Structure 1
Amino acid sequence: MGSRLQIPGDDSILLHVTHSNLKNFAADVRFSLEMTVESVKEKLWKKCGTSVDSMRLELYDDTGAKVCDLDDNFRPLGFFSPLDGYRVHVIDLDPSSVTSGGWLEDTSLVEKYSISDEAYNKLDGTFRKFKEKLASQNPSILESKIPDNYMEDLGTNIKVGDRCEVEPGGKRGVVKFVGKAETVAPGFWVGIQYDEPLGKHDGTVKGKRYFDCPPLHGALLRPDKVKVGDYPERDPFEEDEI
């Protein structure tokens, strides 16, 4: 049986609350023994969302055995002799209740808000606008944390003309540039001409040409993304062979 440590002048008890629809809901709530069952329901409504009229309450002791139904809205809670550690189970009788269907607990059921880049760019006061303004006023602020020789050690192992594979994705191509790209960011960069049109440009980045390649075959990457070695062009039919 449960036990209650009575504090002089304190007529409240601590009950564990569970819910029929909300499997992950559990709370310890303190109630006055003088509260009517209807008042208990009103307090629970604010915590779990089930309306007072749609709520049925069951009282269980600390061994899990059912004690009784709290079925008289006008009786005080103390009439049912609950003790600290007992459990009140809320049963939602409304099939269209906000607690039904699991959407209050399963965030995958909630439609996510999204906005296109075009619409986002039209908004004022966004972090993107702040970052662009900061960069236009003082580009060195955003680049100050990157040293001028960033990844130089890795870049020395890569030579123009090397065959390579780029990660992630395993895209293959040939090295066309190794060095600093002032229009991009401090440090060393590697220009790649992909074997297929998997790139973003023709070797020109932010108005400066770093190398020549066909349109949409070029990419500028950090040296740690590039592996040089024996990476021949893939046979476009090899994946169809058995």
Structure 2
Amino acid sequence: MAATMLSRQDIDALKAYVSAPGNFGQNQAESTVRLHVTHSNLKAEFIELRLDLHMTVDAVKYKLSSHCGTPATDMLLQLRNNNGTLISILTDSQRKLGFYSPQDGWALHIVDTNPNSLSARGWLEDTSKVQKYTMTDAEYRARDNTYWKYKEQKLKEDPEWTAEKELCMRRGIDYVAPKQREAVEDEDFMSAEAASMRVGERCEVDPGSKRGVIRFVGKCDGLPKGHWVGVQFDEPVGKNDGSVKGKRYFTCPEGYGSLLRPDKVKAGDYPEVDEFKFSDEDEI
């Protein structure tokens, strides 16, 4: 069978359709609503979704099941407003989501009715329940082709070697060593920047344009003076689970949390990045 070739006009039309409101783009159509999703067995508000008001409750459940691990048949959905007040229970699986009149920013709370669910008893969030493979320093150093041996060799060649310096060299750009960070003595350091942020707001973090949700705003014992912002990232690009030096400031899965200075965080309408959105350089 001969392959069908798309014309340039067809490709442009397809891109326009994919990026249009209500498809895979970031724009919001009139028939969609932005809802936070919470779960009876999971501590964190783990996602914000755009849902079509024409979807049936059953279809919404199946969509949610791919995000939380609870089968649609084990779900009871509750619609709650911005204050957490229960508005309605979505018991009729064939009714459209729009029948319940949800509003942007409200929450869909998933009640997992299965006592033996995978999400029960903290198995999806508490990493201490998972048996981990451990290796002694001696065992690691005895291995070949490890980062430790690579770093050791590089430092022999250049005592001032760093991973950042290596990346600059590979990219063909000049490396500028970071300045020595001055100690902060002001207890109210960056208080003005922190005052504009609220727990629960979506945000973007630089460098890297990493997106997530603000989970903490305030001062941190054991860290340099001033204000800090705790962020739960959408992806595992963080450094902790919301606790630092033995003190917990918020709760999220391990590797999803970080504490940053407020000037690194921008609060606003930063929905999760849509992996299916085409860029102008995409070809088919």
Q: Which has the higher strand share?
A: 1
Who wins on radius of gyration, i.e. which is larger?
1
Q: TM-score band, normalised by the shorter chain?
A: 0.3 to 0.5
* TM-score of the aligned structures, taking structure 2 as reference length: 0.42
TM-score (norm 1): 0.48
